[in-house]
A and B are shown apart, each in its own frame.
Chain A
Amino acid sequence: MKPILQVRDLITRFYSVDGVVHAINGVTFDLYASETLAVVGESGSGKSVTMMSLVGLIPMPPGKVEGGQALLEKGDGHLDLLSLSDDQLRHVRGGQIGFIFQDPISSLNPTMTIGQQIAESMTEHLGLSQAEARSSTIKLLRNVGIPDAEKRYNAYPHHFSGGMRQRVMIAIAVACEPKIVIADEPTTALDVTVQAQIVDLVKRLQDQMGMAVAWITHDLGVVAGIADRVLVMYGGTVVESARVDDLYEDPHHPYTIGLLKAIPRLDESGNDETEKLTSIEGTPPDLYQELTLCPFAPRCDYVFDRCWQQLPPLIQVDDQHSAACFYDVKRGEPRDDIE
């Protein structure tokens, strides 16, 4: 199966008065049609910036995509998103790649009806007339589970609850049945019960429309529920990439291992009530420095001298499973087969 999106060595930097932020330092991954790829990492790891860089949505005065390729499959060829002008990218945004953002309150225009906010995407990319877009939007509203769709078309964002607003955002994202939907922490700002509904909705739409979903989150619980594959990011790089089961059962990168250990489990503590919750020591890397070493080195239990000298590349450790680490945790010794 060929991927519909191939990202290679993406580099993004932000130039500010306080210095240069090396936000993305050589990110490489694939996205396959109809799959759900979870992108996991802490704040600052570069999950959102990676995705936004692909379609030029990062603020461009301070930000700059400085290297790499993002090949989007198109008909009988590829389109390198990073080489397109802003005008050309506009066709990709919304039409080929849809976005769901985190905070539905601030992400919707308060002075425009939700119906119009959905329909304007359709008129732009699908060439529909106002009337056609309106009826398609109403159908879509019903599809995403908004009751009374015809009346609600003319309602404003502040008339809806958080969960409903997120459904509107989802409708906006899928309005033109894009190939890829990028969901940037869509459930983080919602109540737990509503979270589950939103996750189900996205899954249902995905089955219906066959799109690939890149689900950005820092919540490993959500990942377990919906992902086919997982990308773990740290310090602006991909540190591990695997199928979801493989990641949970057989993690290879020290960071992933630390993350999974940090999830408190009721069945582990036994009767020892004094056992502490595990956490990863140390603080995230300073992105003002160019990355010439493994970003996780200062916090790693298995660190050795090579880690401080070179940025580890992604090494294939199994089928559909790579990790960016010089240490072989399974064998308990540094790898000697990488140049």
Chain B
Amino acid sequence: MQRYIISRTFQSLLLLLGVLIIIFFMVRLTGDPATLMVARDAPEEVREAFREKMGFNRPMIVQFSDYLFGIVQGDFGESLHFDQPALEIILERLPATFQLATVALLFAIVVAIPIGIIGGSNPGSPLDSLGRTLGLLGQTIPNFWLALILILIFAVNLGWFPSFGRDKTISVVLPAIALGFASMGQLVRLTRSAVLEIRNEDYIRTARSKGISTLRIGAKHVFRNAALALISVISIQYSYLLGGSIYIETIFSWPGLGNLLQQAVDGRDFPLVQAIAFFISFFVIALTLLTDVVYALIDPRIRYSR
């Protein structure tokens, strides 16, 4: 199993490198990064000066290795607008995004998993129909629209929650629900189908033939095997939440990375954009690696492989 962990870590580093390459070249897609970052009507001398300053005239290899070494040392470039190292700004905004994604995930888990388990164990029951409806709703309602509707109803009309900002503790509720709704839908569907599938497995028949209690079958036989499938799904959802918060953060003026990205894109602050893209990718890759390791530790078939 140790070999597995080491090889997965190595793979992740390679992935990270690949991501870095893509991010590096994204900005150079149009050939001249200066045109992207400098005002449209700026005269050529301004652009040329900019190119010199940012080192865009050097050979690609030199630019890339500079970039790479910079990152390894923690230098992600300077934001054009904030006049600060990109890293600083990102670290400032990071906690907000993590908080939002985590609360959204918790919301999704707490609602979806019980419904999925009960629904999957009693197919056709009212609770199961509820679960399937939620699953469908999660896939059909766009989260940015849901955010607007939630604001309209709960913030403006009922006044229960603030409609923007992160000042109060309850500020996180509406954004988290809007962000987590789609994940909740996915989780209900997948939990339900995992439970349904497992219930048809032979070892459940064996468990029932032993006459042990339904509760015990559910907990030790069904759930343990379902948990394995669910861990992957939850991790994927968390990645999605971390990387997909841009709309919600923008609508709710939530001071996180998504919001920052939108501002940076709007202001054509591409060094910052690159840094944010890299950071979010980094977290996603790290999360995936962590999940694979946890999975390897939990699944006896991998943990104790001969």
Residues of A within 8 A of B (CB): 55, 57, 61, 89-95, 98-99, 101, 103, 106-112, 120-121, 124-125, 155-156, 158-159, 169, 172
Q: Are B212 and A110 in contact (CB under 8 A)?
A: no
Known contacts A109-B221, A110-B300, A158-B301; decide if A169 and B206 are in contact (CB<8 Å): yes
The yes or no answer to B157 lying at the interface (CB within 8 A) is no
Q: Are A107 and B203 in contact (CB under 8 A)?
A: yes
**Chain B 164-222 residues near chain A, CB threshold 8 A:** 201-203, 205-213, 216, 220-221
Q: Are B210 and A121 in contact (CB under 8 A)?
A: yes
Q: Are A158 and B206 in contact (CB under 8 A)?
A: no
Known contacts A156-B300, A156-B301, A159-B306; decide if A107 and B206 are in contact (CB<8 Å): yes
CA–CA, A107 and B306, complex, Å: 21
CA–CA, A103 and B202, complex, Å: 8
The yes or no answer to B28 lying at the interface (CB within 8 A) is no
CA–CA, A93 and B210, complex, Å: 5
Q: Are B208 and A57 in contact (CB under 8 A)?
A: yes
Q: Which residues of A contact B124 (CB under 8 A)?
A: 61
User: Which B residue's beta carbon lies closest to that of A89?
Assistant: B211
The yes or no answer to B81 lying at the interface (CB within 8 A) is no
Q: Are B211 and A156 in contact (CB under 8 A)?
A: no
Partner of B210, one of A89, A120, A159: A120
Known contacts A111-B224, A111-B300; decide if A125 and B211 are in contact (CB<8 Å): yes
The yes or no answer to B228 lying at the interface (CB within 8 A) is yes
The yes or no answer to B225 lying at the interface (CB within 8 A) is yes
Partner of B203, one of A55, A61, A93, A106: A106
Known contacts A110-B225, A156-B300; decide if A93 and B209 are in contact (CB<8 Å): yes
Q: Are B210 and A57 in contact (CB under 8 A)?
A: no
Q: Are B304 and A124 in contact (CB under 8 A)?
A: no
User: Which B residue's beta carbon lies closest to that of A56?
Assistant: B208
What's the nearest-Cβ distance from chain A to residue B227, in Å?
8
CA–CA, A106 and B225, complex, Å: 13
What's the nearest-Cβ distance from chain B to residue A94, in Å?
4
CA–CA, A10 and B256, complex, Å: 67
What's the nearest-Cβ distance from chain A to residue B4, in Å?
16
Partner of A57, one of B201, B205, B225, B299: B205
Q: Are B225 and A111 in contact (CB under 8 A)?
A: yes
Q: Are A108 and B211 in contact (CB under 8 A)?
A: no
User: Which B residue's beta carbon lies closest to that of A96?
Assistant: B211
Q: Are A109 and B209 in contact (CB under 8 A)?
A: no
Q: Which residues of A contact B201 (CB under 8 A)?
A: 106
Q: Are A172 and B225 in contact (CB under 8 A)?
A: no
User: Which B residue's beta carbon lies closest to that of A116?
Assistant: B220
Q: Are A112 and B211 in contact (CB under 8 A)?
A: no
What's the nearest-Cβ distance from chain B to residue A15, in Å?
13
User: Which B residue's beta carbon lies closest to that of A93?
Assistant: B211
B112-134: contact bitstring with A at CB < 8 Å (1 yes, 0 no)? 00000000000110000000000
Known contacts A111-B299, A111-B300, A158-B301; decide if A90 and B213 are in contact (CB<8 Å): yes
Known contacts A124-B211, A156-B301; decide if A108 and B206 are in contact (CB<8 Å): yes
Given contacts A57-B209, A109-B206, A124-B213, 17 further A-B contacts (CB under 8 A): A90-B212, A91-B211, A93-B211, A94-B211, A99-B209, A101-B205, A101-B209, A106-B202, A109-B203, A110-B301, A111-B225, A111-B299, A120-B212, A124-B211, A156-B301, A158-B300, A169-B206
Q: Are A107 and B205 in contact (CB under 8 A)?
A: yes
CA–CA, A111 and B301, complex, Å: 8
CA–CA, A95 and B306, complex, Å: 35
CA–CA, A155 and B124, complex, Å: 38
User: Which B residue's beta carbon lies closest to that of A55?
Assistant: B209
Q: Which residues of B contact A124 (CB under 8 A)?
A: 210-213, 216
CA–CA, A89 and B221, complex, Å: 20
**Chain B 262-306 residues near chain A, CB threshold 8 A:** 299-301, 304, 306
User: Which B residue's beta carbon lies closest to that of A99?
Assistant: B209
Q: Which residues of A contact B224 (CB under 8 A)?
A: 109, 111-112
What's the nearest-Cβ distance from chain A to residue B211, in Å?
3
Q: Are B209 and A94 in contact (CB under 8 A)?
A: yes
What's the nearest-Cβ distance from chain B to residue A91, in Å?
6
| 18 A-B pairs in the complex with CB atoms less than 8 angstroms apart | A61-B124, A89-B211, A90-B213, A93-B210, A99-B206, A101-B205, A103-B202, A107-B203, A109-B207, A110-B300, A111-B299, A112-B224, A121-B210, A121-B211, A124-B211, A156-B300, A159-B304, A169-B206
CA–CA, A112 and B213, complex, Å: 16
**Chain B 219-275 residues near chain A, CB threshold 8 A:** 220-221, 224-225, 228
Q: Which residues of B contact A109 (CB under 8 A)?
A: 203, 206-207, 220-221, 224-225
Q: Which residues of B contact A110 (CB under 8 A)?
A: 203, 225, 300-301
What's the nearest-Cβ distance from chain A to residue B170, in Å?
40
Partner of B202, one of A55, A94, A107: A107
Residue from B123, B201, B206, B211 having most chain A Cβ neighbours under 10 A = B211
Q: Which residues of A contact B300 (CB under 8 A)?
A: 110-111, 156, 158
CA–CA, A124 and B210, complex, Å: 9
CA–CA, A158 and B304, complex, Å: 9
Q: Which residues of B contact A93 (CB under 8 A)?
A: 208-211
Residue from B206, B212, B220, B306 having most chain A Cβ neighbours under 10 A = B206
Known contacts A124-B211, A159-B306; decide if A101 and B301 are in contact (CB<8 Å): no
Known contacts A109-B224, A158-B300; decide if A94 and B212 are in contact (CB<8 Å): yes
User: Which B residue's beta carbon lies closest to that of A156?
Assistant: B300
